[in-house]
Amino acid sequence: MKRKILCPTDFSAHSRAGIACAALLAATTGAELLLFHVTRFPFHELLVPCDAGTAVIEQRLRALAVCRLLREAEAGIRRFVELHFARQFGDLSWRAVAGLGKVPAEILATACREEADLIVMGRRDRPPLQRLFSRSVSEAVSRAAPCPVLTVRPAQVIEPGAGSPTPALAAVLQGSRA
């Protein structure tokens, strides 16, 4: 059974930390990495009025626009990888996947559709008041995910007793030291 790691990205520094972690896990385990981005539909284009005769044509044009948006989003993922991860992704098995809709719902749907074994997400630190009134994307995904979810904060470091700092990911891969 081939393993799959789903890693959503919004092209931010926070998501870069998630991608770096997911790439290391994929390289270590031989899993396929799915980089996923949710794009938005330009709803202002829907405001153009049309009569019943042109409705079918309008519907087909919107379907073509959606396909174009998804292709552009996947191309954006590939450019992002080339810019930030060219060396790390050399021998890695990975694909760019895009979705259209609400971010948490699209991540969950893609995890189910692709039968992901793990979701790796970059996490933002949010102010307490913001956390009180709304859930973060990573929290919403974690609560409903069909598989384990690993959230990663940038520059997260564990200090072992003596010596140089070890990235938190190395501790996760090595397991706990008792």
How much is the pLDDT for 175? 44
Per-residue pLDDT tens over the stretch 132-149: 666 788 889 999 999 999
> In this predicted model, which residue has the larger pLDDT, 173 or 107?
107
Helix (H, G, I), strand (E, B) or coil at 146: coil
Instruction: Find all residues with CB under 8 Å of 104, minimum gap 6, and list them.
Output: 137, 140, 141, 144
Per-residue pLDDT tens over the stretch 31-49: 999 999 998 766 545 445 5
Span 76-89, average pLDDT? 89
CA-based nearest residue to 150, from 7, 30, 4: 7
Is the pTM here over 0.85, yes or no?
Answer: no
Where would I find the H helices in the chain? 13-29, 55-84, 103-113, 128-133, 137-144, 168-174
Cα–Cα distance, 168 to 58 (Å, whole number): 51
Query: Following CA atoms 127, 8, 16, 84 in sequence, which dihedral angle do they give, to the nearest 10 degrees?
Result: -150
3-state helix, strand, coil in the chain (%, to 5): 50, 20, 35
